[in-house]
Amino acid sequence: MEIQINKLVKAYRGEIVVNIPSLTIKSGEIVGLVGNNGAGKTTLMRLMLDLVKADRGYVCSNGLKVCDDEQWKEYTGSFIDGRFLIDFYTPEEYFGFIAAVYKISDAILRERLEQFSKFMNDEILGEQKLIRDFSAGNRQKIGIIGAMIVSPKVLILDEPFNYLDPSSQIIMANLLQAMNKQLGTTIVVSSHNLEFVNNVSTRILLMEKGLIINDISNLNNEAAAQLNNYFVSDNTTINFSKTE
At residue 236, the pLDDT reads 52
Nearest CA to 29 among 50, 1, 49?
A: 1
Q: In terms of domains, do 94 and 144 share one?
A: yes
pLDDT per residue as tens digits for the range 44-82: 999 999 999 999 999 999 999 999 999 999 999 999 998
Question: Which stretches does DSSP call E strand in 144-208?
Answer: 154-158, 186-190, 203-208
What pLDDT band is residue 230 in, cutting at 50, 70 and 90? confident
- Is residue 164, in this structure, part of any structural domain at all? no
- Is residue 115, in this structure, part of any structural domain at all? yes
Last residue of a domain, one of 92, 123, 151: 151
Q: What is the CATH number of the domain that holds 8?
A: 3.40.50.300
CA distances from 102 to 2, 52, 97, 148, 150 (A): 21, 23, 9, 12, 7
* pTM for the model: 0.92
What's the rounded mean pLDDT across residues 198-208?
Answer: 94
d(CA 136, CA 153): 27
d(CA 210, CA 44): 8
CB 216 within 8 A of CB 210: no
pLDDT per residue as tens digits for the range 123-162: 999 999 999 999 999 999 999 999 999 999 999 999 999 9
Question: Phi/psi of residue 112, each to 5°?
Answer: -70, -40
- Is residue 236, in this structure, part of any structural domain at all? no
- Is residue 31, in this structure, part of any structural domain at all? yes
pLDDT per residue as tens digits for the range 12-39: 998 999 999 999 999 999 999 999 999 9
- Domain coverage including residue 90: 77-151
User: Domain total for the chain?
Assistant: 2
- Neighbour-count burial for 70-79, b at 16+ CB within 10 Å, e otherwise: eebbebbbbb
